[in-house]
């Protein structure tokens, strides 16, 4: 709702009241309409201030109302009525003005913002566009290029940037409402002719066609198949080329297309899923709301390689004191330099001081004796990690949480090396750890709820999206990745090329296809793991048996490349050719293509033509099938956990909602049918056999994704 009061005798104060963010629900919109009517009808009121309660102006539309029959007064006429008022209306922006909230502010005649406020037209992140005049008013106010940048990205700007761009008229460090009231008093009675943004001519760039063509190309590239950013460009183009009323019509048309699209549903699902993963639970019944985290002030990182450096930076940036331990002299010296550089660059971007003094370095593990929590990031070698955990267990003070950044090893086995296994959890970061948002918090059967709660809270403090998952080989993300990677190799054997496979996956929306991604991460990483698993046999043996390992189909293609020293970007050769070691542009490599032909001949494989659909189905459905197994095993509590892991850790396109959401959009019956087909065609790939849970969900009528948790619980109770 919204409350109307009169302050300073002649200022009508309208306060939005819809906690937590004063979203524009039907009731709030009705409240605003009524309050505006009261303010304009009250002869004692000479000017009006609109603000939000609890230090937040307005977070935008109430997305809980999406997908339902929207009732209550619509936003567009409400904002028009405010703009058309002949009493000046001032928006007092504290906290945030996002989406519809900023559109409401743009309908006001003046805007006063607190210096800590953030503003943005964020609709594009939910698969929509600012459809309450935002795409028409913002370019009229700040010009086409700046408006395009904000509207197509949904970027938040600070109050200072908003002032510089001309979005707000005044920024204050004092009480924003008091300042806005003063402002409102000062402009009472003045002409508003020059203050109604919808009446401004839109600054028209000199070559409007060329500008929009260029922008469209850039947006298409970065959108990776998302349609909302494209529609945003089209709407801003309407602002630049059509009168306001026609521009508004275009805005509405474009919004209508987006509103009912699968992409908007996917992005809105992600919005809620991201919040849902914070409400974690464990099979033991322990939960987020009944488990109390301990506060962590001092943490240690063991091993300052690729991961340890990023983790140390992320911890220091979150305000913790960090003890960083590295035993190898060369790595120690290099890491100190690199970590400082990373912190300096980060601080420069944020305009803050680098927290260099937060980190102390040591080559002696004894230095971690007084820390509250340790994150181990030494080589992926169980014997080494066992030793480190045994040491930590004796060195650290009582109650220190011991965490491992292992990518796949058994967290419970590491716990068994310590005196207090309940204090051990996995904290699986993603590279580069100070940048990537995802953190898998891995609990073993003996991890205490407090250890999980503490790791989850620490992840949040570090700005991560943390997902609690059970302990199994590869946890959730890497376990699902394995069948995906293997399918890609099988496709190459059968006749595909890296270009075809990557092209299909990139068109689907991945930032990089599987082969480009492998080249970037380094082919030797997986090679080492496969060697450890006893899967690698040197040389190019012939016949079908050479492609069977441990009773199932195996492709040695990756091993053969590694034998040639082709480790990807770092060696300048992998699945692609690079101009020099370390270069990033993947180029077609004739050698690789001859190698594949030779390989097929040697193994008696006749290459067949395959299309993008087969590539997508085999790679993605194999991954999704493993996701169902993970749900069946109780390793992930629900589909949201898996989807958030894939969106934040594996560049799954957000506008497709994550693999499990995608499966629900494709239709579970179809996914099941295609998996059955591929399993029949490739009986030597056991994981293509559809998972029981998938079959049972289909048999129970393919419930929508938000009902899976409930359905799984029911199915379990029937077993
Ligand atoms: P890395 O080889 O870059 O670094 C490991 C570092 O640990 C080296 O600097 C080494 O000198 C140091 N070290 C070895 N023994 C030590 C000891 N006893 N005490 C202190 N330092 C010691 O490895 P990385 O890529 O950073 O991986 C570290 C861990 O993180 C592994 O378990 C890996 O599986 C996991 N991980 C890696 C990635 C990735 O993309 N690289 C992603 C997620 C998780």
Measured in Å, residue 396 CA sits from the centre of ligand 1 at 20
Residues 110, 199: contact at Cβ < 8 Å?
no
Which residue's C-alpha comes closest to atom 40 of ligand 1? 431
Measured in Å, residue 267 CA sits from the centre of ligand 1 at 35
Mark whether 626 is an active-site residue: no
Report residue 718's pLDDT band, with 50, 70 and 90 as the boundaries: confident
Name the token pair of 304. 């300052």
For 263-321, write each residue's pLDDT tens digit.
999 999 999 999 999 999 999 999 999 999 999 999 999 999 999 999 999 999 999 99
181: which residues sit within 8 A by CB, 6+ positions away? Answer: 7, 8, 11, 13, 49, 92
Q: Which residue in 311, 286, 280, 274 sits closest to 645, CA to CA? A: 274
Instruction: Name beta bridge partners: 438.
Output: 465
Report residue 578's pLDDT band, with 50, 70 and 90 as the boundaries: very high
Strand (E) positions, 47-193? 47-52, 89-93, 96-98, 110-114, 118-120, 157-158, 170-172
pLDDT at 323: 98
**Identified catalytic residue from 123, 440, 486, 626:** 123
pLDDT at 540: 58
Residue 375 three-state SS: strand
For 344-373, write each residue's pLDDT tens digit.
999 999 889 999 999 999 999 999 999 999
Sheet holding 157-158, edge to edge: 96-98, 118-120, 157-158
pLDDT at 206: 85
Query: How far is it, in rounded angstroms, from Cα 628 to Cα 694?
Result: 6
Measured in Å, residue 554 CA sits from the centre of ligand 1 at 28
Can you list the domains of the chain with their CATH numbers? 2-259 (3.90.226.10), 298-475 (3.40.50.720), 496-602 (1.10.1040.10), 612-634+637-718 (1.10.1040.10)
**Identified catalytic residue from 83, 103, 179, 326:** 103
Residues 119, 164: contact at Cβ < 8 Å?
no
Segment 651-678 shows an average pLDDT of 98
Closest-lying ligand 1 atom to the alpha carbon of residue 406 = 32
Which residue's C-alpha comes closest to atom 11 of ligand 1? 328
Average pLDDT, the chain: 95
In the chain, what is the straight-line distance between the N-terminal and C-terminal CA atoms, in Å?
A: 48
Question: What share of the chain has pLDDT > 90, as a percent?
Answer: 93
pLDDT at 433: 96
Residues 333, 309: contact at Cβ < 8 Å?
no
pLDDT at 538: 74
Name the token pair of 285. 């019944």
Name the token pair of 459. 């992840």
Q: Does residue 246 carry a pLDDT above 90? A: yes
Measured in Å, residue 406 CA sits from the centre of ligand 1 at 8
pLDDT at 699: 95
Q: How far is CA 337 from CA 330, 340, 343, 348, 398, in A?
A: 11, 5, 10, 17, 33
Query: How far is it, in rounded angstroms, from Cα 301 to Cα 611?
Result: 47
pLDDT at 546: 80
For 515-568, write each residue's pLDDT tens digit.
999 999 999 989 998 998 889 887 656 666 688 888 899 999 999 999 999 999
pLDDT at 719: 62
User: How would you write 477-498 as a 3-class SS string?
Assistant: HHHHHHHHHHHHHHHHHHCCCH
Residues 251, 129: contact at Cβ < 8 Å?
yes
Which residue's C-alpha comes closest to atom 3 of ligand 1? 305
Q: Which residues line ligand 1 (CB under 6 A)?
A: 302-308, 325-328, 331, 377-380, 384, 388, 405-407, 429-431
Name the token pair of 482. 């394995």
For 399-424, write each residue's pLDDT tens digit.
999 999 999 999 999 999 999 999 99
Q: Does residue 445 carry a pLDDT above 90? A: yes
Place of tokens 């300048």: 572
HSE-CB for 196 with a 13 A CA cutoff:
16
Segment 446-467 shows an average pLDDT of 98
Mark whether 103 is an active-site residue: yes
Segment 43-68 shows an average pLDDT of 93
For 496-521, write each residue's pLDDT tens digit.
999 999 999 999 999 999 999 999 99
pLDDT at 542: 62
HSE-CB for 611 with a 13 A CA cutoff:
1
Segment 82-111 shows an average pLDDT of 98
Q: How far is CA 651 from CA 151, 476, 538, in A?
A: 22, 15, 33
Strand (E) positions, 56-174? 89-93, 96-98, 110-114, 118-120, 157-158, 170-172
């Amino acid at each position: 709702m919204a409350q109307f009061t009169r302050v300073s005798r002649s200022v009508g104060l309208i306060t939005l009241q819809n906690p937590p963010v004063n979203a524009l629900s039907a009731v709030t919109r009705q409240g605003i309409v009524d309050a505006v009517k009261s303010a304009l009808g009250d002869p004692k009121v000479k000017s009006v201030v609109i603000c939000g309660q609890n230090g937040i102006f307005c977070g935008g539309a109430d997305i809980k109302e999406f997908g339902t029959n929207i009732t209550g007064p619509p936003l567009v006429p409400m904002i028009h009525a405010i703009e058309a008022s002949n009493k000046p209306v001032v928006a007092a922006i504290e906290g945030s003005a996002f989406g519809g909230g900023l559109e409401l502010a743009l309908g006001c005649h003046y805007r006063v913002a607190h210096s800590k406020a953030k503003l943005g037209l964020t609709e594009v992140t939910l698969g929509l566009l600012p459809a309450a005049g935002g795409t028409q008013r913002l370019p009229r106010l700040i010009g086409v290029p700046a408006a395009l940048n904000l509207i197509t990205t949904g970027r938040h700007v600070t109050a200072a940037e908003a002032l510089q761009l001309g979005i707000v008229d005044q920024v204050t460090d004092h009480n924003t409402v008091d300042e806005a009231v003063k402002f409102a008093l000062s402009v009472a009675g003045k002409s508003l002719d020059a203050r109604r943004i919808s009446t401004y001519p839109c600054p028209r760039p000199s070559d409007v066609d060329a500008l929009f063509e260029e922008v469209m190309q850039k947006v298409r590239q970065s959108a990776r198949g998302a349609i909302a950013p494209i529609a945003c460009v089209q709407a801003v183009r309407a602002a630049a080329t059509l009168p306001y009323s026609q521009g508004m019509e275009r805005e509405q048309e474009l919004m209508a297309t987006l509103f009912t699209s699968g992409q908007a549903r996917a992005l809105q699902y992600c919005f809620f899923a991201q919040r849902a993963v914070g409400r974690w639970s464990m099979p033991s019944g322990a939960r987020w709301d009944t488990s109390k985290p301990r506060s962590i002030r001092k943490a240690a990182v063991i091993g300052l390689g690729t991961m340890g450096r990023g983790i140390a930076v992320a911890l220091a940036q979150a305000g913790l004191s960090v003890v960083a331990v590295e035993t190898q002299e060369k790595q120690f010296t290099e890491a100190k330099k690199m970590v400082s550089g990373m912190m300096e660059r980060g601080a420069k971007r944020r305009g803050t001081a680098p927290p260099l003094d937060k980190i102390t370095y040591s080559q002696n593990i004894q230095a971690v004796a007084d820390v509250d929590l340790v994150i181990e990031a030494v080589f992926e070698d169980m014997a080494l990690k066992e030793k480190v955990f045994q040491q930590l267990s004796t060195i650290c003070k009582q109650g220190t949480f011991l965490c491992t950044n292992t990518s796949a090893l058994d967290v419970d086995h590491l716990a068994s090396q310590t005196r207090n296994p309940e204090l051990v959890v996995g904290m699986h970061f993603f590279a580069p750890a100070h940048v990537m948002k995802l953190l898998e918090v891995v609990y073993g059967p003996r991890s205490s709820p407090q250890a999980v709660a503490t790791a989850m809270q620490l992840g949040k403090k570090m700005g991560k999206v943390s997902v609690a998952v059970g302990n199994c080989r590869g946890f959730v993300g890497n376990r699902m990745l394995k069948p995906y990677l293997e399918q890609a190799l099988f496709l190459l054997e059968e006749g595909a090329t890296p270009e075809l496979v990557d092209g299909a996956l990139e068109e689907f929306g991945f930032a990089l296809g599987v082969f480009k991604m492998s080249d970037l991460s380094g082919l030797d990483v997986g090679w080492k793991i496969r060697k450890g698993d006893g899967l690698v046999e040197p040389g190019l043996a012939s016949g079908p048996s050479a492609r069977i390992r441990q009773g199932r189909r195996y492709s040695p293609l990756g091993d053969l490349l590694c034998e040639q020293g082709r480790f990807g970007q770092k060696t300048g050769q992998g699945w692609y050719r690079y101009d020099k070691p370390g270069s990033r542009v993947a180029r077609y490599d004739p050698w690789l293509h001859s190698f594949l032909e030779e390989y097929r001949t040697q193994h008696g494989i006749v290459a067949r033509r395959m299309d993008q659909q087969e590539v997508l189905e085999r790679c993605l459905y194999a991954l999704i099938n493993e996701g169902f197994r993970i749900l069946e095993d109780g390793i992930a509590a629900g589909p949201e956990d898996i989807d958030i892991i894939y969106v934040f850790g594996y560049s799954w396109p957000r506008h497709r909602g994550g693999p499990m959401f995608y499966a629900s959009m494709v239709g579970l019956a179809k996914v099941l049918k295609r998996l059955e087909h591929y399993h029949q065609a490739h009986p030597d790939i056991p994981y293509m056999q559809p998972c029981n849970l998938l079959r049972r969900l289909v048999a129970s009528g393919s419930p929508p994704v938000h009902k899976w948790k409930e359905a799984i619980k029911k199915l379990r109770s029937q077993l």
